[in-house]
Amino acid sequence: MSSSVRAVLAQCPGWGRECPPNALAALAAYARAEGFAISCHDLNNAFYQRSPGLRRMWEDKDLYSFWEDPARVGELLRGNSELTEAFVSELLQDGPRLVGLSVHTTSLRASLELARRIKRKDPSCVVVLGGPQCARSQAAEPLSREDCVDAVVTGEGEDVLVSMLRQLERSRKLEPLPGAIVRVDGRPADLGDAPGPADLDALPFPDYSDFSADMAAGRYNDPRRLELLDSRGCVRRCHFCSEWQFWKEFRSKSGERLFAEVCEQMRRHPGVEHFYFIGSLLNGRLETLHGFCDRVVESGLRITWEGQAVVRPGMDETLLPKMARAGCRRLSFGIESGSERVRRAMNKPFTNEEALRALRAARDSGMSVQVNFMFGLPTETREDFQQTLRFLEDCRPYIDSVLASQSFTVLDKGTALHRSPQDFGIEGQGHHLFWTSNGRENHYAERFRRYEEFCRRALALGLPETSGVLRHKPDKWQLLGEYYEHQERYPRAAACYRRALHAEGASVRGRMEECLRKAQGARRGRRTPLAAAGNQGPQRNDMSDRAGR
């Protein structure tokens, strides 16, 4: 029996445009199976399609600082207010009782702005935020205090969404429930976490029907592609990683279920033939991987697929060729550092020899291979970084591309690095980017230097300029300006902001002028009476363009 309660799910900018958002399709399928009317809207892709003059904001995949800057995202939406209001009207046109927004670090600012506009247009509509940025280890608590937000789902959303819709069906208002922080009489009420689905095979196939017209018309970057959430969680607990906290326990779909899902999506959407495994790792359960590959090979199904993998026993000359025969065309391995000592400190206990063996076996099987690196992991010395450069040279014959972390190393809440900074020699852990370690030798500007040196070495080795491996990071001077401002080194911050203003087109004039005022105030405070009378000697030029190098 269908319910009279309608709900809308939306993805705001900025987010990827390779294919429709899997999270919305999965939640919609689950709620529809329970009898609720759900519609899905990819506002991220719609904004791109309807604003040709702004497409660089999506096409340059390295502009993270833009999407995470409240002022710049606000300016983008206000400058396109008519389009933004049109999206609000689209979401509300059928009178939904609930609007759910999927939130990531890059879509947070736009999601909040949209939520405010929804509330202004229809105060009775219940606005719910969910997704990775709503985890307790991320921004759940501050988001729950936003006046435009009625609830924040802190973990997996299927059962929580359906419970909310049933509440609205009964009483037209939300009540506190496990798995979400709900605003009651203006105050957040928190009943703790709710378990996620134990049996992933029992979930319905994601329903992409609301996106099928855009898929058929080629309005996504890769019309042949869909995403496949093969597992939730991770078999590892790397000390820098917060992703496993969202999913709690590791669970994997079976090989039979993955094969059935692929076949069904290809039936529903002719033209789809490539699948990206979006779990934290596709080889967390090797039995699943073997089973899926066996069924693809036995059936003769012609597909291609890719995903993230960890170096582990079993990824060898037996499994990898089978994966290639089943259509696996690309694997990305999280190596992170060429120093075995640093990896052990981060709870990634594999040797360089084991890593090279896996990379070689994948390449020999005919796959494209990518390796992922981070920079300035706590405990990493300059010699450790040199080992990373040497490992890059050692593995070059077996790899096609590199993903270099543009945030270098983040201290996410809830990780071992954030919970126990003293164990890793970390100071200043209050800021997720601008912390220090190794007696303050390992600081943000030094990590930036190592990142740039790594990029130069990768490009010199003939590796392609891809996301992360850049000749010029498009937000370098803005980021360094923020770092030096955080350090209260205002002359250098102002110099970096000036470079950002002119070289990057960043909206930082106000911050630059504020840093100049603070620098001038500090200089006045340091003047002696004689200097104040005008007898000043030569001054160091703190506005030098060398700032930050």
Instruction: Read off the pLDDT of residues 36-58 as tens digits, 9 standing for 90 and up.
Output: 999 999 999 998 898 887 787 78
CA 170 to each of CA 127, 181, 331, 418, 521: distance values in angstroms, whole numbers, following the listed order: 18, 20, 48, 42, 61
CA 309 to each of CA 44, 79, 337: distance values in angstroms, whole numbers, following the listed order: 28, 42, 15
Predicted confidence at residue 273, as pLDDT, reads 96
The tens digit of pLDDT for each residue in 411-442 reads 988 889 999 999 999 999 889 999 999 999 99
CB 42 within 8 A of CB 211: yes
Flag whether pLDDT at 529 surpasses 80: no
Instruction: Report the residue count for the chain.
Output: 549
Integer Cα distance of 42 and 287 in angstroms: 35
Integer Cα distance of 532 and 257 in angstroms: 78
Q: What percent of the chain has pLDDT over 70?
A: 94
Q: Which two tokens stand for residue 351?
A: 């040797």
Q: Which two tokens stand for residue 83?
A: 């389009």
Integer Cα distance of 230 and 234 in angstroms: 11
Integer Cα distance of 501 and 514 in angstroms: 14
Predicted TM-score (pTM) of the model is 0.88
Angle subtended at Cα 33 by Cα 29 and Cα 36, rounded to the nearest 5 degrees? 90
Flag whether pLDDT at 327 surpasses 70: yes
Considering all CA atoms of the chain, what is the largest pairwise distance in Å, rounded to the nearest integer?
89
Domains in the chain, CATH or no CATH each: 6-190 (3.40.50.280), 224-464 (3.20.20.70), 475-525 (no CATH)
Q: State the DSSP H helix or E strand holding residue 154, giving kind and residue range, or none if neither.
A: none
Strand duo 304-309 + 328-336: pairing:
parallel
Over residues 344-365, mean pLDDT? 95
Integer Cα distance of 38 and 32 in angstroms: 7
CA 435 to each of CA 239, 280, 404: distance values in angstroms, whole numbers, following the listed order: 16, 26, 19
Q: What's the pLDDT band for 193 if we cut at 50, 70, 90?
A: very high
